[in-house]
Amino acid sequence: MDTTAAGPAADPAGRTGPGRGTRVPAALASGLLLAGVSVVAGCRAADRDGVTPVPQLLAFLPWLLVPAGLALLLAAFARWRPGLVWALAVLGTLAWYLEPYGRTGEPAGNAVAALRVLTSNVQFGGGTGALVTAIRRERPDVVFVEECEYTCQARLVKTFGARLPHRSAVEGGGSEGSLILSRFPLTRTPPVPGTLGMPGAVADVRGHAVRLQLAHPMPPLPGGLGPWREELGALRDHAARNRGRSTVVAGDFNASQDHAAFRRILDAGLLDGARLSGSPRTPSWPARTAPRFGAQIDHVLVSADFSARGARFLHLAGTDHRALVVDLTLHRRE
């Protein structure tokens, strides 16, 4: 009887390692992971948002490094050389697109006014109480509030009627209501068309006209990408019409910098305040897992005559979004 212990399986070249029975499943798992991640990375490289589930996954593009890295390890375990090359190519593509998107740079003109902007999605009004506390603490000059239904609007207007007396709103229940509160006098402008309220106004900031626009397009729901694309496109058109004018567009964009539809808004002449402040990928949603995991879909976008500093994301009870506060400085155009 042969009592020699069985050793590792040997390959035809005489090397020892995992047997074919384990290498094949590892290679298959690696290929499946790489196929899924490659579709998303390919859409990002092609400047397209694709179809479900690509837009939903694009919001979490940096986190796709995890399955891509796992695929690399599985390919190495399976001694699958094409898989190793494939995995390295995918990892390189993802790493390339981790670089923040959009222009940066300080305006050339002298500073003429400073203003603090706060934006918050209060999730059907549930975060209104926490937002009241945040406004009292942060003392913003302009507040953009999404999903601010009737009772939310009534409470904010009553509470801050003296400090933030000017407002532009779209009234509605549930997620449809939105509100802009301002320390500066406002002239209302027509809302950007959309399923959810997106009010606008022109603020008189020390004699300088600043266009304010709240952003809240539909989310990229499976089977409902059309409204999401159209409403982000309407925000892009608004930015393009106001190119060369002092502008602040803030709110819940339901899109990150890895969505082509959002990048086109930036390409229309706007800069991302969080990026200018050194926080380009800080997650704002979902609040339950942020900042460890999530996507930055809440933004304060500004025209090139603004500089930004000190962006901060705030946890508010009662909502699945973190609020965003950005300190802005308006510069005289030269």
Q: With 90 as the cut, is the pLDDT of residue 103 above it?
A: no
pLDDT band at 106, cuts 50/70/90? confident
> What are the residues whose beta carbons fall under 8 Å from the beta carbon of 85, sequence distance 6 or more?
none
Q: With 80 as the cut, is the pLDDT of residue 10 above it?
A: no
The pLDDT > 90 percentage for the chain reads: 88
Q: How far apart are CA 216 and CA 254, in angstroms?
A: 7
Convert 5-21 to b/e letters by CB count within 10 Å (16 or more is b).
eeeeeeeeeeeeeeeee
Q: With 50 as the cut, is the pLDDT of residue 8 above it?
A: no
Q: What is the 3-state secondary structure (H, E, C) of the chain?
A: CCCCCCCCCECCCCCECCCHHHHHHHHHHHHHHHHHHHHHHHHHHCCCCCCCCHHHHHCCHHHHHHHHHHHHHHHHHCCCHHHHHHHHHHHHHHHHCCCCCCCCCCCCCCEEEEEEEEEEECCCCCCHHHHHHHHHHHCCCEEEEECCCHHHHHHHHHHCCCCCCEEEEECCCCCCCEEEEECCCEEEECCCCCCCCCCEEEEEECCEEEEEEEECCCCCECCEHHHHHHHHHHHHHHHHHCCCCCEEEEEECCCCCCCHHHHHHHHCCCEEHHHHCCCCCCCCECCCCCCCCCECCEEEEECCCEEEEEEEEECCCCCCCCEEEEEEEEECCC
For domain 111-331, give the CATH number: 3.60.10.10
Mean pLDDT, rounded, for 2-31: 66
Question: Could you report the per-residue pLDDT of 50-98, keeping only the tens digit for each?
Answer: 999 999 999 999 999 999 999 999 999 999 999 999 999 999 999 999 9
Question: Could you report the per-residue pLDDT of 234-268, keeping only the tens digit for each?
Answer: 999 999 999 999 999 999 999 999 999 999 999 99
Angle, CA of 50, 52 and 57, to the nearest 5°: 85
* Contact between 93 and 41 (Cβ < 8 Å): yes
Question: Would you state the pLDDT for residue 40?
Answer: 98
Q: With 90 as the cut, is the pLDDT of residue 15 above it?
A: no
Q: How far from 154 is each of 118, 161, 167, 197, 325, CA to CA, in Å?
A: 18, 10, 12, 16, 22
Q: With 60 as the cut, is the pLDDT of residue 11 above it?
A: no
Question: Would you state the pLDDT for residue 9?
Answer: 45
What are the structural domain ranges in the chain?
20-96, 111-331
* Contact between 212 and 182 (Cβ < 8 Å): yes
* Contact between 307 and 315 (Cβ < 8 Å): no
* Contact between 305 and 208 (Cβ < 8 Å): no
* Contact between 325 and 140 (Cβ < 8 Å): yes
pLDDT band at 173, cuts 50/70/90? very high
pLDDT band at 102, cuts 50/70/90? confident
Question: Could you report the per-residue pLDDT of 133-153, keeping only the tens digit for each?
Answer: 999 999 999 999 999 999 999
> What are the residues whose beta carbons fall under 8 Å from the beta carbon of 25, sequence distance 6 or more?
none
Q: With 80 as the cut, is the pLDDT of residue 105 above it?
A: no
Question: Would you state the pLDDT for residue 277?
Answer: 92
The residue type found at 115 is: L
Q: With 60 as the cut, is the pLDDT of residue 13 above it?
A: no
Question: Would you state the pLDDT for residue 56?
Answer: 97
27 vs 107, residue with greater confidence: 27
Q: What is the mean pLDDT of the chain?
A: 93
Q: Which strands, in side-by-side order, build the sheet including 208-215?
A: 186-189, 200-205, 208-215, 247-252, 298-302, 271-272
Mean pLDDT, rounded, for 281-288: 96
* Contact between 180 and 167 (Cβ < 8 Å): yes
Q: With 70 as the cut, is the pLDDT of residue 7 above it?
A: no
**Which phi and psi angles does 282 have, rounded to 5°?**
-70, 120
